[in-house]
Amino acid sequence: MAKGMREIKRSLKSKQNMKQITKAMEMVAAAKLRRAQEAALSARPYTDKIREVVSSIASGAGSIRHPMLQSREVKRTAYLIVTSDRGLAGGYNINVLRKLTNTIAEKHRSSDEYEVLVVGRKGSAYLNRRGVPIAEEVTGISDSPKYGDIKAVAYKAVQGFEEGRYDEVYIVYNRFLNAISQVPTLKKLLPLSSDEFSGSATQYEYEPDAESVLSVLLPKYAETVVYSAILEGKASEFGARMTAMGNATKNATKLIGELTLSYNRARQAAITQEIAEIVGGASAQQ
């Protein structure tokens, strides 16, 4: 009985320590979520505005023959996937990775038909284990990403399309809705559809000409979409981690309650047994 009580007490102490850790991680994720959510939401107006400017120029300049607007036969596809560097975030990483692998399985017959550009160690490790060709990987992005952190991978995706290495580029990320809801999203990044840039009510004056301005703005727009997806991913990551750690804390609390009850019952049984032994010993001496 004493041995069983020691085991229960040891397990109880372990669960209490785990609860302290998960509770602390939940609070840290909640604090980071607020900042990441503000960054993700504040980036949306900028993305919408640059899209409006590009739309105005593209729609007002007639036929535009910019490489990023030209569709061609698809022979090779690039996927830019956004994952995290750390785990303990519930289904955050596996959901977006499953979205990617399902898309690859549906669209491609050979690994020669696609490449993946990865943001985050979790995505890189997962894809390396499965032999998925990785063209570029970026790790160690801070919890508050800066535009310069993702410029290299965004530029590589845009440059690869312009140079003809890729015929289309998709970005795969978790779109942030709220702290408990993140949606794995597959979004076509390139080529940019001319239909997407139409109907802008605002007209802008620019020089020297539409194609020169678009040659600067279109790559900037694509990079902005990537940056916005990174911010959405960070907010989704912290939301998923906060939820996962909150659930872990609740489970630990439940286990602690069950173990405490078991310990008290074992302790009560041990005391009862000791009393019975004392009474039996005293009766035997009479």
The verdict on pTM exceeding 0.85 is: no
User: In this structure, is residue 233 part of a structural domain?
Assistant: yes
What residues form DSSP beta bridges with 168?
77
Cβ pair 75, 165 in contact under 8 A: no
User: What is the C-alpha separation between 8 and 268, in angstroms, rounded?
Assistant: 14
CA 264 vs CA 8, 40, 76, 250, 271: distances in Å: 10, 50, 65, 21, 10
Tell me which residue of 56, 83, 84 sits closest to 221, measured CA to CA: 56
CA angle, 161 then 171 then 110, to 5°: 70
User: In this structure, is residue 60 part of a structural domain?
Assistant: yes
Give the amino acid at 200. Answer: S
User: In this structure, is residue 10 part of a structural domain?
Assistant: no
Phi-psi region of 133 (alpha: psi -120 to 50; beta: other; left: phi over 0): beta
Sign of the C-alpha dihedral, residues 11, 17, 19, 22?
negative
User: What is the C-alpha separation between 118 and 85, in angstroms, rounded?
Assistant: 11
Among the residues of 61-131, which ranges form H helices? 92-107, 121-129
User: In this structure, is residue 278 part of a structural domain?
Assistant: no
DSSP E strands: which ranges in 122-180?
134-138, 168-178
**Average pLDDT per run of 10 along the chain, which is 286 residues long?**
75 92 94 91 85 73 68 90 92 94 92 92 93 90 87 88 90 91 91 61 69 80 90 94 94 92 83 73 65
The predicted pLDDT at position 194 comes to: 56
Residues in contact with 285: Cβ distance below 8 Å, sequence separation at least 6, in sequence order: none
The predicted pLDDT at position 179 comes to: 83
Sign of the C-alpha dihedral, residues 270, 276, 282, 284?
negative
How many domains are there within the chain? 1
What residues form DSSP beta bridges with 21?
none
Q: Show the domain range for 141.
A: 26-243
User: In this structure, is residue 117 part of a structural domain?
Assistant: yes
Tell me which residue of 23, 24, 37, 30 sits closest to 236, measured CA to CA: 37
User: In this structure, is residue 21 part of a structural domain?
Assistant: no
The predicted pLDDT at position 116 comes to: 95
The CATH number given to whatever domain includes residue 149 is 3.40.1380.10
The predicted pLDDT at position 53 comes to: 79
Cβ pair 11, 223 in contact under 8 A: no
Tell me which residue of 27, 57, 124, 144 sits closest to 84, measured CA to CA: 124
User: In this structure, is residue 265 part of a structural domain?
Assistant: no
Q: Cα 24 to the chain's mean position, in Å?
A: 21
**188 sits in which H/E element:** strand 181-190
The predicted pLDDT at position 59 comes to: 67
User: In this structure, is residue 263 part of a structural domain?
Assistant: no
The predicted pLDDT at position 111 comes to: 87
Tell me which residue of 225, 152, 161 sits closest to 187, measured CA to CA: 225
**240 sits in which H/E element:** helix 210-285
Three-class SS state of 167: coil
Cβ pair 209, 4 in contact under 8 A: no
